[in-house]
């Protein structure tokens, strides 16, 4: 449970709005986000930043809903993007806000296409985090053709173990990300020889859902040493991009708070006087969102008891993909016993589950359940597999409710949906 979530009587609510009312109005499965929770998390990152030396670039991949991007933009954030699509969404969010602030946008990702690089340069990207020497050459070529200078850094692979799930660790030597620690100086030298490139920083990202600050500080120490070396050989750097990766509480974890995390990074980089860019995704939105689902059926075979709900791995794939734990709460408390169940969806895969072997209050057909901590990598990883329609999304803000994405319609499954205007 997060501070903005509470039972009023027997009914679970978010920012004072009853979840059962939202289910009745918008149907299920439904993603519900708390605006106040996102605000609190963003402000917590900025709390220790009295010198304004930290720019929080929300990692769009965690949740690309335009209303969520807009929320962070309005609070002062920039964006971390990894594709033309995310760059487009970030730009739109800033435009929709209608103020003149240009957000800081950093572009990280192995395998940027030429079209994406061109779009980023035309959009006035803050920094392209380069992944290889070949990518550097390509960026220089495109910048020359466009007649611009490309602001770049290299994403350094610091070979630090983030101690997280192997699928979401990225900063070890064996991973595809970043350039090897030892090759960095030579690559920076090569970049300096290209007038189309402006070397503006150093960057890294070592993994996600980290529950200790230590791996990040180890990585940052390493890239600070690189920054020192670069400065000594005459580079003028502006940014140190520390990536994302701060974990959240899904079950019994005790991750550092965003204040602690930011304070530590600011302290560590103070002497360098570099401007710090952080790319948090999950830690800003993960606990701000929940997935509301309704029980469709119950079933018992000799070995197991199943609660079949209308949300599936197509709505929230994290349990299936990573064995991730998401807390599940009844939306209405009832005086019934508890039971051990698998909470499963309607998709034709045995791996389609939201919880396995979980002790829950008995849930009957028609009851609503809330799957917590689903704000990050939830809707973002949803799919149409099994002909399923992706759910609607709503944002709750101090009692106000806004539909921020309608539920998909059957026509959306067609490759060429009929044009409603015709």
Binding site for ligand LLP (CB under 6 A): 59, 61-62, 80, 108, 168, 205, 208-209, 243-246, 279-283, 318, 322, 376-377
Cβ proximity to ligand LLP: between 27 and 76 the closer is 76
Specify which residues 402 forms β-bridges with.
395
Cβ proximity to ligand LLP: between 23 and 285 the closer is 285
- Rounded distance, CA 11 to CA 229, Å? 59
Cβ proximity to ligand LLP: between 144 and 381 the closer is 381
List, as one string, the DSSP characters of 154-202.
Answer: EEEE------S-GGGB--STTSSSSEEGGGHHHHHHHHHT-TTEEEEEE
Q: Tell the smallest beta-carbon distance from residue 8 to ligand LLP (Å).
A: 31
Q: Tell the smallest beta-carbon distance from residue 142 to ligand LLP (Å).
A: 21
Give which of 69, 100, 102, 103 is closest to 85, Cα–Cα. 69
Q: Tell the smallest beta-carbon distance from residue 386 to ligand LLP (Å).
A: 20
The one catalytic residue in 57, 184, 204, 348 is 348
Query: Is 348 designated active site?
Result: yes
Cβ proximity to ligand LLP: between 26 and 373 the closer is 373
Kindly state the helix (H) or strand (E) to which residue 291 belongs, with its residue range. strand 289-300
Kindly state the helix (H) or strand (E) to which residue 240 belongs, with its residue range. strand 239-241
Q: Tell the smallest beta-carbon distance from residue 131 to ligand LLP (Å).
A: 10
Q: Tell the smallest beta-carbon distance from residue 134 to ligand LLP (Å).
A: 19
Peptide bond into 29 cis (omega under 30): yes
- Tokens found for residue 164: 């997280």
Cβ proximity to ligand LLP: between 7 and 325 the closer is 325
Specify which residues 203 forms β-bridges with.
155, 241
Name 172's Cβ contacts closer than 8 Å, sequence gap at least 6: 157, 159, 160, 161, 206
- Tokens found for residue 282: 């999950």
Catalytic residues: 348
């Amino acid at each position: 449970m997060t501070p903005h979530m509470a039972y009023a009587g027997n009914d679970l609510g978010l920012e004072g709005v009853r979840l059962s009312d939202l289910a009745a109005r918008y149907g299920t499965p439904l993603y519900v986000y708390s605006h106040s929770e996102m605000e609190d998390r963003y402000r917590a990152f900025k709390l220790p930043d009295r010198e304004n030396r930290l720019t929080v670039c929300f990692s769009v991949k965690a949740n690309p809903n335009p209303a969520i991007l807009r929320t962070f933009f309005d609070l002062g954030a920039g964006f971390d993007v990894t594709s033309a699509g995310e760059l487009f969404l970030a730009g739109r969010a800033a435009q929709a806000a209608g103020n003149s602030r240009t957000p800081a946008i950093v572009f990280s990702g192995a395998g940027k296409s030429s079209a994406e690089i061109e779009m980023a340069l035309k959009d006035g990207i803050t920094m392209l985090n380069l992944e290889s020497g070949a990518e550097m050459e390509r960026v220089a070529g495109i910048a020359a053709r466009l007649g611009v200078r490309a602001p770049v850094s290299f994403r350094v692979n610091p070979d630090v173990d983030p101690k997280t799930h192997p699928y979401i660790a990225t900063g070890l030597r064996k991973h595809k990300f970043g350039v090897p620690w030892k090759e960095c100086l030579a690559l920076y030298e090569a970049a300096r020889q290209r007038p189309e490139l402006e070397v503006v920083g150093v960057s890294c990202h070592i993994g996600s859902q980290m529950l200790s600050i230590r791996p990040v500080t180890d990585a940052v120490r390493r890239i600070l040493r690189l920054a020192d070396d670069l400065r000594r050989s005459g580079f003028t750097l502006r940014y140190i991009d520390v990536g994302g990766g701060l974990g959240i509480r899904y079950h019994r974890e005790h991750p550092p708070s965003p204040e602690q995390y930011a304070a530590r990074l600011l302290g560590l980089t103070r002497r360098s006087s570099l401007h710090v860019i952080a790319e948090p995704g999950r830690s800003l939105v993960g606990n701000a969102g929940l997935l509301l689902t309704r029980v469709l059926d119950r079933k018992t075979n000799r070995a197991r008891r199943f609660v079949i709900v209308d949300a599936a791995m197509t709505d929230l794939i994290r349990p299936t993909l990573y064995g991730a734990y998401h807390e599940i709460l009844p939306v209405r408390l009832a005086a019934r016993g508890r039971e051990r169940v698998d909470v499963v969806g309607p998709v034709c895969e045995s791996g389609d589950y939201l919880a396995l072997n979980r002790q829950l209050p008995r849930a009957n057909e028609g009851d609503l359940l809330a799957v917590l901590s689903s704000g990050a990598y939830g809707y973002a990883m949803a799919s149409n597999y099994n002909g399923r329609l992706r759910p609607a999304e709503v944002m709750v803000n101090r009692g106000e409710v806004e539909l921020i994405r309608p539920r998909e319609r059957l026509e959306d499954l067609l490759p060429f949906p009929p044009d409603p205007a015709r």
